[in-house]
Amino acid sequence: MRHWTHIEERGIIWGMQALLKVYLLFGRKVLQVFLYPVVSYYWLNNRKGRLASQQYLQNVSACLPDKTLHTGLYGSYLHFISFANAIIDKLAAWSGAISLQDVVYDGRAEMLAHLSQNQGLLLLGSHLGNLEVCRVIAHLGKRVTVNVLVHTKHAEKFNTLLNRYGKAGSLNLIQVTEMTAATAMLLEDRIAAGELVVIAADRTPVSNQKRVAPADFLGKTALFPQGPFILAALLKCPVYTLFCLKQQGKQVIYFDHFSDGLSFPRKQRDALIQVCVQNFADRLQHYCLQEPLQWFNFYDFWQTDDE
């Protein structure tokens, strides 16, 4: 199976635009009626996504002996429906339709304590749950600027939507396909200014596929990127993980302390990075088991060979 960056997000933009229009005009209930045909079309046309979904569901289900989870075709359909719902939430968040009342925080006080001292933070996110809902954290008490690192190739489509419906506000999307010294300086400035930098730590790099590390995840070995952890070490700032899950109809945003500052001295570099990657994988698994259907990596996550 191919690397995730090679998988075309076919038709997703027109479908989602249509759904968002319906949502903004008629609300969520009416939207559900339109949701199923769009998702069915996408599901039928995306064999690789279906297979990846079933593979994931089998792995996660093996770690959840007490829960009954559909792991076959029907399971993957439910998984796609869950994905579509999350995209609507994502668009709703961007367009301002999700208000602060819909959001519950876990661990916010600790994070605010850092921010009130003008201490910038690096937040490690993932494609579990809805990272974009974090747009609302830009309005946390005092205004905080949130910088989200995104891969250029994938950000363009999303930016098109963003520009049409959203207001950029105090959120910066920083497009990074390759981490350069100049990018590191830019991010160092953001951190020094007491801002947040968010980076997904569950997708292997677009350009340099050597900078990956294996970790146990849901019972099998998967590859994780080293980049986010290396970046954390360069920025020398506290690191938190960030997960936004939809639970009981509310968006719950979890901030969890990850490190006061990572450091990878040359001689033990690979071993230390490995430990960090595994710690992150463990935390990802912890939240994954809470909301298994909110896993939104629809490609072979456990692909470890160089195909």
- Residues binding another protein (CB under 8 A): 179-186, 188, 208, 211, 230, 234, 264-267, 269
CB of 301 to another protein, least distance (A): 24
Q: Which is nearer to another protein, 40 or 263 (CB)?
A: 263
171-175, strands of its sheet edge to edge: 103-106, 250-259, 239-247, 121-125, 196-200, 146-150, 171-175
CB of 267 to another protein, least distance (A): 7
Which of 224, 234, 226 has the alpha carbon at shortest distance from 281?
Answer: 224
Q: Which is nearer to another protein, 137 or 235 (CB)?
A: 235
Kindly give, in sequence order, each residue whose CB lies less than 8 Å from that of residue 39, ignoring residues fewer than 6 positions away.
77, 80, 81, 83, 84
Which uninterrupted H or E stretch holds 304? none
Residue listed under structure tokens 């709703």? 92
CB of 65 to another protein, least distance (A): 41
Sign of CA dihedral 205, 227, 304, 64: negative
Q: Which is nearer to another protein, 6 or 267 (CB)?
A: 267
Kindly give, in sequence order, each residue whose CB lies less than 8 Å from that of residue 113, ignoring residues fewer than 6 positions away.
none
Q: Which is nearer to another protein, 170 or 183 (CB)?
A: 183
Q: What is the DSSP letter of 179?
A: -
CB of 112 to another protein, least distance (A): 27
CB of 227 to another protein, least distance (A): 9
Q: Which is nearer to another protein, 146 or 187 (CB)?
A: 187
